[in-house]
Amino acid sequence: DAPRRRAGRAARGVADATAAPPAPQLPAARTGHTAGVAVCGSVQHSDGTAVPRAALTLIDVTGRQIGRGASDGEGRYALATPGSGSFVLIAAAGGHQPQAVTVTVGERPVELDVVLGGAGRLAGSVLTADGLPVRDATVTLTDVRGEVVASTRSGREGGYVISELVAGEYTLAASAHAYRPTALPVSVQASRETRQDVELAGGAVLRGTVRAGGGRPVEDARVTLLDAGGNVVDSQTTSADGTFRFVDLSSGEYTVIASGYPPVATVLQVAGGGRTERDLLLGHED
């Protein structure tokens, strides 16, 4: 009887162990670990609102990655550590200033909220030297490595806006047809709007009409523009009404040659800057 009682007790012990609920574990897909003390909390803006899809990385004192995951739609996250010790939690999200926080883990889970600095914003206007707006100008922002961060166009009143920027140093460039491009440094601050206007210097615009001896406009005449050194600056053919137009010219002396009939050359001075325009009449013989 004694052996049968011992066997019965052993069988009941196996049944009890089988029925015991398993210990809770953190999701391996989120933490990279199936056991250990948890570090959990939320990723927030400075106003307390959640930052979803923030990337979180947990490293030890040697810089080795311990866990990695992402915040959910409500900004919550959970990472597991291999045990007690000191670690560094790194949080980053697009358009936010990244944050690194030291966390000390003991025997109990640690609740740690991380606040990310809000995105910066850059706004301003593209203007001429006399303060007039330049519409449809291309505005480009590059970082310290020279990579393009954002690009936009100025509106009807010359205004532009670039948002979701991490705080830091950038180069702001602007260009537009008939204006010389320009670039300048700009410092963007977190959670603030930085104002920066851009002034574009307009080159001189040289216009003219090629006419025959009787005053008739000459279509498809070749017009070539040479600088003071005799170098070709630009070349084009006249339109149906005999007109030609050279833009974005520096100040100085130029020679205009019209051909198609016996060529005619005219030397003239062009003043750069502003909105200078010169009409030029070239005579041609029939």
pLDDT in tens, 99-125: 899 999 998 999 999 988 767 889 999
Give 245's pLDDT tier (boundaries 50, 70, 90). Answer: confident
Q: What percent of the chain has pLDDT over 70?
A: 80
**Residue 201, number of CB atoms within 10 A of its CB:** 14
| Burial class, 278, CB count within 10 angstroms (exposed 0-12 / middle 13-18 / buried 19+) | middle
The pLDDT assigned to 215 comes to: 76
For the sheet with 222-226, list strands across it.
232-237, 222-226, 252-259, 264-270
The pLDDT assigned to 199 comes to: 94
User: The domain 21-115: what is its CATH number?
Assistant: 2.60.40.10
Contact between 102 and 88 under an 8 Å Cβ cutoff? The reply is yes
- Mean pLDDT, residues 129-154: 93
The pLDDT assigned to 6 comes to: 47
Tokens of 4: 């049968």
3-class secondary structure, 130: coil
The pLDDT assigned to 283 comes to: 52
Is the fold of 21-115 the same as that of 204-283? yes
The pLDDT assigned to 261 comes to: 60
The pLDDT assigned to 1 comes to: 53
Query: pLDDT: is 112 or 163 the higher one?
Result: 112
Query: pLDDT: is 244 or 177 the higher one?
Result: 244
- What fold characterizes domain 120-200? Immunoglobulin-like (2.60.40)
The pLDDT assigned to 270 comes to: 74
DSSP run (H or E) holding 30: helix 28-31
The pLDDT assigned to 195 comes to: 95
Contact between 68 and 110 under an 8 Å Cβ cutoff? The reply is no
Q: Where are the domains of the chain?
A: 21-115, 120-200, 204-283
- Mean pLDDT, residues 160-188: 90
The pLDDT assigned to 52 comes to: 92
Cβ neighbours for 33, distance < 8 A, ≥ 6 positions apart:
26, 66, 67, 79, 80, 81, 82
| Whole-structure pTM value | 0.49
Contact between 170 and 217 under an 8 Å Cβ cutoff? The reply is no
Tally of residues, the chain? 286
- What fold characterizes domain 204-283? Immunoglobulin-like (2.60.40)
DSSP class of 152: E
Give 262's pLDDT tier (boundaries 50, 70, 90). Answer: low
